[in-house]
């Protein structure tokens, strides 16, 4: 035993004179650190109730509950996360995975309450003192992501390669690309409500991820009998609400659908879908128009055993999908792949048969048990500005149809297209290709009333049109067409300030001082199409309700007041393919009910 060992412990006495280490007022003097993981905050105006927070929570501490004042609408489930702090472990995985960046944790850690129920609340809705705290755990932006925010690049033909050809320009995903893209999905299902056909989007994306193509294909056909077509030209409204798109690119839902459909050979369709033996019944349904609505209705009716006959005015099936959409977006062989399968289910298509001329609607009523009309919008609308009656002024729908039929269309060296929708882009880009072929240069200008940010066309259509050297100059209202000595000279326009009034009605205002002149030898109008309902004879017409805008009125099963007649597609809703498909499907359900005596036009 050394003396040192006996004495040194006593040196601790010198600490007697030190201050004690105490935080006197922790509520004020000791805020949590900048990254502290305290109670939740939620910016409920940003939150879309996608539920990924609930999904990743390992403690099941989060419920998604409806909140008063937040409506369920496209892209927002109307639900908000409620946190049960009896279970929360403050790991903040919910924050890191949040698709909208709305969820965060505050640095509040001192809050207490005597009532245990207080420890379960909806952050952001139930007001808390820390709602305005700036500090706390936030999603580490730019440092890491729990899912890939950027979409897998879809390869396109280079603009030079596609300038003068109608070869399909989107190449489609490889298996690796598709799985990588499918991996980005968070499976929230927000998109399903927005899809007019309510397709099982998360489910088929999951099938891609798990490389179970057959399962994915079955899911597609549950709600959509035209997947090859929709996988190419669908307006993909689902992608506009995709939760992943809030912080990054939305999922390429359309391309994934195309990927699944591309993987299945036509010969295997029946085997994969289990439709090799369908029990037929003896009832007959007539369908007018082989467009998406008619084909969709025929498909689901055929599956239910009905004998369907489609009457098609034109020499081939597909409607606007064939005669409105250029081949570089939707190759005819892919169109035929979908249509041939529907035909193989026993659906008969009578081509070159115009109802109203070659056969009367009343004959169909007599010979068939029910009729579905999906005749679409094929009559081009005119701006009716002075000069539109000139022979060098054409309708986009007519030209597109002629191109598809393989006929030569009139083609000037300098063309102006009026319109800013997808059809306008289609004709602009088709003209660009044809001009390139014929003259070796492109000189086509598309101008629309709507300014660039509110143009109805898909963004990529505009971008690609420009890549193909077409000029897109939006935001101009057409005034008149300049004609000199019977020769078309060009289009006068004035600056458009706004298109809709405050109530959202179409009511354009113009800057009368700001004019512009587009020189042209030929003008194409593409501002929308109207329906040709001349095949509905007057006696039938009297039995049908029309609304004030001249549209037919139908019930939720697309049944008209004349109960044997069902109507759907562009003439009722849309215009686009996916609405047509959804309408056809729903009408098929309705016809089935009607023929079984379960459906009246108005349920009493």
Partner 1 sequence: MKRNKLIWQPDRSKYPEHDSNGKPIVDLKSQKFTKLWQGPNHPGVTGNMSLELTLSGDEVVEAKTHVGYLHRGFEKLMERRTYMQCFPTSIRMCVAEPDSNEYVLSAAVEELSGIEVPETAQWLRMLALEMARLQVLLRVVPGIASTLSLGLGSQWGMYMREHILDRFEELTGGRIYHMYILPGGVRGQLPDGFKKRMLENLDMIDGFIKRIEDLIFSNNVFKKRTVGVGILKPEWVDQFGVVGPPARGAGFKRDVRKDYPYLKYNEIDFDPFMATDSDIYTRAIVRKQDLIMTVDIIRQILDKIPNDKEIRAKTPNVLHLEIPKGEVYARSESSRGEYGMYIVSDGSKYPRRVNLRGPSYTHAVALLEKMLINANISDVHAIMVSLQTCPPEIER
Partner 2 sequence: MDKIIKDLTSRFKVTDYIQQRPNMAYVTVQKELAISLITHMRDIEGFTHFVLLTAVDWIEDNLFQLTYILNSPDKKVDLGIRVMIDRENPTMDSAHHLWQQVATYQRELKEMFGIDFPGSPRVDESFILEGWDDIPPYRRDFDTLKYAEETYFPRDGRGSNDPAEYMKKKLYPDEEK
CB of 34 to partner 1, least distance (A): 7
User: Nearest-CA neighbor of 319 among 300, 342, 344?
Assistant: 342
Nearer to partner 1, 201 or 385 (CB): 201
Interior CA angle at 371 toward 367 and 376, to 5°?
135
Which entry of partner 1, partner 2, none binds 280, CB below 5 to 8 A by partner kind?
Answer: none
User: Nearest-CA neighbor of 326 among 474, 237, 471, 433?
Assistant: 433
CB of 72 to partner 2, least distance (A): 4
Task: Build a one-symbol-per-residue string for 400-439: x at contacts with partner 1 by CB under 8 A, - elsewhere.
Answer: ----------------------------------------
Which region among 73-81, 310-318, 332-340, 396-404 touches partner 2 (by CB under 8 A)? 73-81
Kindly give, in sequence order, each residue whose CB lies less than 8 Å from that of residue 508, ignoring residues fewer than 6 positions away. Answer: 449, 477, 496, 497, 498, 499
- Size of site (CB under 8 A) for partner 2: 28
Residue 571: cis peptide before it, omega within 30 degrees of 0:
no
Which of 32, 38, 49, 289: binder of partner 2 (CB under 8 A)?
A: 49
Decide the pairing of beta strands 522-525 and 415-418.
parallel
CB of 192 to partner 2, least distance (A): 5
Interior CA angle at 581 toward 578 and 584, to 5°?
150
Asked if residue 402 binds partner 2 (CB under 8 A), the reply is no
CB of 191 to partner 1, least distance (A): 16
CB of 586 to partner 2, least distance (A): 7
Asked if residue 72 binds partner 2 (CB under 8 A), the reply is yes
Radius of gyration of the chain (CA): 31
Which of 44, 50, 170, 185: binder of partner 1 (CB under 8 A)?
A: 185
CB of 22 to partner 2, least distance (A): 37
Which entry of partner 1, partner 2, none binds 21, CB below 5 to 8 A by partner kind?
Answer: partner 1
Asked if residue 102 binds partner 2 (CB under 8 A), the reply is no
Cα–Cα distance for residue pair 596/594, rounded to 1 Å: 5
Asked if residue 65 binds partner 1 (CB under 8 A), the reply is no
Which entry of partner 2, partner 1, none binds 167, CB below 5 to 8 A by partner kind?
Answer: none
Which of 40, 209, 218, 232: binder of partner 1 (CB under 8 A)?
A: 209
Q: Output the CA–CA distances (angstroms, integers) from residue 573 to 4, 536, 551, in the order listed.
A: 97, 19, 10
Cα–Cα distance for residue pair 111/99, rounded to 1 Å: 28
Which of 46, 63, 214, 458: binder of partner 2 (CB under 8 A)?
A: 63
Asked if residue 64 binds partner 2 (CB under 8 A), the reply is yes
Interior CA angle at 306 toward 302 and 307, to 5°?
90
Which region among 135-143, 182-190, 375-383, 542-550 touches partner 2 (by CB under 8 A)? 182-190
User: Nearest-CA neighbor of 415 among 489, 490, 520?
Assistant: 520
Q: Output the CA–CA distances (angstroms, integers) from residue 390 to 118, 431, 522, 528, in the order listed.
A: 74, 19, 9, 19
Cα–Cα distance for residue pair 107/121, rounded to 1 Å: 17
Q: 260 near 213, Cβ under 8 Å?
A: yes
Give φ, ψ of 520 to 5 degrees. -160, 155
Placement of tokens 């029309």 in the chain: 546
Q: What residues are paired with 536 via a beta bridge?
A: none
Asked if residue 592 binds partner 2 (CB under 8 A), the reply is no
Q: Which residues contact partner 1 by CB under 8 A?
A: 1, 4-6, 8-9, 11-12, 21, 32-37, 52, 55-59, 89-93, 96-97, 105, 137, 140, 142-148, 183-187, 209
Q: Which residues contact partner 2 by CB under 8 A?
A: 49-51, 54, 62-66, 72-73, 77-79, 84, 86, 120, 188-190, 192-193, 198, 202, 222, 556, 586, 589
């Amino acid at each position: 035993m050394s003396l040192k060992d006996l004495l040194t412990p006593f040196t601790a006495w010198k600490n007697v004179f030190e201050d004690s280490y105490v935080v006197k007022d922790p509520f004020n003097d000791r805020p949590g650190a900048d990254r502290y993981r305290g109670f939740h905050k939620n910016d409920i105006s940003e939150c879309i109730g996608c539920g990924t927070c609930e999904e990743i929570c390992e403690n099941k501490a989060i419920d998604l509950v409806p909140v008063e004042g937040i409506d369920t609408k496209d892209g927002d489930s109307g639900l908000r996360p409620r946190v049960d702090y009896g279970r929360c472990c403050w790991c903040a995985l919910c924050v890191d995975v949040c698709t909208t960046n709305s969820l965060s944790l505050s640095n509040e850690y001192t809050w207490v309450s005597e009532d245990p129920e207080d420890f379960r609340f909806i952050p952001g809705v139930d007001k808390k003192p820390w709602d305005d705290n700036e500090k706390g755990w936030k999603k580490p932006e730019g440092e890491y992501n729990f899912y890939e925010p950027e979409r897998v690049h879809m390869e396109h033909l280079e603009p030079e390669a596609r300038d003068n050809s109608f070869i399909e320009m989107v190449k489609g995903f490889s298996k690796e690309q598709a799985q990588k893209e499918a991996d980005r999905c968070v499976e929230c299902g927000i998109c399903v409500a927005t899809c007019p056909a309510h397709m099982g989007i998360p489910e088929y994306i999951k099938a891609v991820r798990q490389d179970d193509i057959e399962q994915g294909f079955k899911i597609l056909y549950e709600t959509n009998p035209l997947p090859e077509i929709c996988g190419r030209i669908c307006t993909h409204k689902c992608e506009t609400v995709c939760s992943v798109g809030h912080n990054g690119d939305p999922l390429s839902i359309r391309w994934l659908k195309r990927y699944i459909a591309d993987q299945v050979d036509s010969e295997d369709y029946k085997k994969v879908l289990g439709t090799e033996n369908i029990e037929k019944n003896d009832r007959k349904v007539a369908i007018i128009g082989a467009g998406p609505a008619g084909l969709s209705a025929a498909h689901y009716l055929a599956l239910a055993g009905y004998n369907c006959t489609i009457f098609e005015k034109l020499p081939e099936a597909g409607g606007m999908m064939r005669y409105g959409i250029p081949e570089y977006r939707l190759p005819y062989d892919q169109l035929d792949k979908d249509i041939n399968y529907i035909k193989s289910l026993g659906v008969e298509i009578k081509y070159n048969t115009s109802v109203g001329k070659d056969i009367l609607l009343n004959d169909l009523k007599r010979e068939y048990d029910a009729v579905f009309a999906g005749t679409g919008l094929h009559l081009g609308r005119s701006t009716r500005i002075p000069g539109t009656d000139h022979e060098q002024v054409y309708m986009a729908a007519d030209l597109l149809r002629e191109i598809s039929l393989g006929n030569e269309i009139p083609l000037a060296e300098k063309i102006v297209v009026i319109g800013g929708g997808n059809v306008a882009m289609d004709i602009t880009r088709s003209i660009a290709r044809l001009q390139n072929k014929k003259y070796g240069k492109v000189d086509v200008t598309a101008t629309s009333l709507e300014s660039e940010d509110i143009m109805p066309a898909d963004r990529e259509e505009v971008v690609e049109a420009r890549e193909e050297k077409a000029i897109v100059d939006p935001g101009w209202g057409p005034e008149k067409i300049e004609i000199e000595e019977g020769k078309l000279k060009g289009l006068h326009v004035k600056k458009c300030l706004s298109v809709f009034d405050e109530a959202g009605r179409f009511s354009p205002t113009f800057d009368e001082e700001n004019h512009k002149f587009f020189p042209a030898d030929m003008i194409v109008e593409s501002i929308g199409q109207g329906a040709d309902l001349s095949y509905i004879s007057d006696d039938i017409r009297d039995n049908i309700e029309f609304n004030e805008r001249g549209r037919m009125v139908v019930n939720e099963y697309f049944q008209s007041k004349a109960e044997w007649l069902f109507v759907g597609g562009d003439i009722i809703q849309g215009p686009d393919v996916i609405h047509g498909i959804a309408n056809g499907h729903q009408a098929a359900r309705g016809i089935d009910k009607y023929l079984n005596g379960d459906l009246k036009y108005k349920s009493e």
